[in-house]
Amino acid sequence: MIDLGLARIGRLLQNTPQTWKAIHVAGTNGKGSICSYISAMLYARGVSCARFTSPHLIDRWDCITVNEKPVSEAVFRDVEDLVKKRDRDDDIGATEFELLTATAFEIFNRQKVEFGVVEVGLGGRLDATNVLKEKCVTVISKIGLDHQSFLGGTLHEITKQKAGIMRAGVPCVVDYSNDPEVLRVIDEEAGIVRNPMTDDTWRTLSQEGYEPHQIWNLACARMAYQLACPEQSPSESRDVPTIPWSRVLPTIRQVQWPGRLQKLDIQKLTGRQQEVLLDGAHNTQSAEVLAEYVQKHVRVPGKPVTWVLAATRGKDMDGILGLLIQNGDQAAAVRFHPVDGMPWVKPEDPSKLIKLAARHGADSSNLYDAKEDVKDALVWASRTAGDGPVVIAGSLYLVSSVLRLLRDS
- The domain that holds 54 is classified in CATH as 3.40.1190.10
Task: Please answer whether residues 50 and 117 qualify as being in contact, where contact means their C-beta atoms are separated by less than 8 angstroms.
Answer: yes
Residue 281 located in a structural domain: yes
CATH number for 268: 3.90.190.20
Same domain, 196 and 51: yes
Same domain, 93 and 44: yes
Same domain, 281 and 241: no
Same domain, 209 and 75: yes
Phi and psi, residue 164, nearest 5° = -65, -10
Task: Please answer whether residues 149 and 114 qualify as being in contact, where contact means their C-beta atoms are separated by less than 8 angstroms.
Answer: no
Q: How many residues does the chain have?
A: 409
Residue 2 located in a structural domain: no
Same domain, 88 and 145: yes
What does the pLDDT read at residue 364? 93
**For helices 350-359 and 317-324, what crossing angle results, to 10°?**
50
Same domain, 160 and 289: no
Cα–Cα distance, 150 to 4 (Å, whole number): 8
Same domain, 52 and 29: yes
Q: Are strands 49-52 and 115-119 parallel, antiparallel or unpaired?
A: parallel
Q: Are strands 390-393 and 367-369 parallel, antiparallel or unpaired?
A: unpaired
- C-alpha distances out from residue 296 to 55, 71, 287, 303, Å: 29, 37, 14, 14
3-state SS record for the chain = CCCCCCHHHHHHCCCCCCCCEEEEEECCECHHHHHHHHHHHHHHCCCCEEEECCCCCCCHHHHEEECCEECCHHHHHHHHHHHHHHHHHCCCCCCHHHHHHHHHHHHHHHCCCCEEEEECCCCCCCCHHHHCCCEEEEEECECCCCCHHHHCCCHHHHHHHHHHHCCCCCEEEECCCCCHHHHHHHHHCCCEEECCCCHHHHHHHHHCCCCHHHHHHHHHHHHHHHHHCCCCCHHHCCCCCCCCHHHHHHHHCCCCCCCCCEEECCHHHHCCCCCEEECCCCCHHHHHHHHHHHHHHCCECCECCEEEECCECCCCHHHHHHHHCCCCCEEEECCCCCCCCCCCCCECCHHHHHHHHHHCCCCCCCEEECCCCHHHHHHHHHHHHCCCCEEEECCHHHHHHHHHHHHHC
- C-alpha distances out from residue 194 to 125, 140, 171, 176, Å: 20, 10, 7, 9
Same domain, 295 and 391: yes
Among 27, 35, 234, 26, residue whose Cα is nearest residue 116 = 35
Residue 257 located in a structural domain: no
What does the pLDDT read at residue 233? 54
Task: Please answer whether residues 322 and 329 qualify as being in contact, where contact means their C-beta atoms are separated by less than 8 angstroms.
Answer: no
Domain span at 280: 262-408
Spans in the chain with pLDDT lower than 70: 1-3, 146-152, 232-241
Same domain, 218 and 273: no
- Whole-model pTM: value is 0.89
Same domain, 211 and 272: no
Query: Which of residues 252, 277, 305 is at a domain's end?
Result: 252
What does the pLDDT read at residue 44? 94
Among 195, 289, 234, 225, residue whose Cα is nearest residue 21 = 225
Cα–Cα distance, 239 to 242 (Å, whole number): 9
Number of domains the chain contains? 2
Residue 1 located in a structural domain: no
Query: Which of residues 195, 224, 252 is at a domain's end?
Result: 252
Same domain, 145 and 280: no
Residue 322 located in a structural domain: yes
What does the pLDDT read at residue 38? 97
Same domain, 188 and 208: yes
Query: Which of residues 206, 231, 252 is at a domain's end?
Result: 252
Residue 95 located in a structural domain: yes
Residue 299 located in a structural domain: yes
Residue 366 located in a structural domain: yes
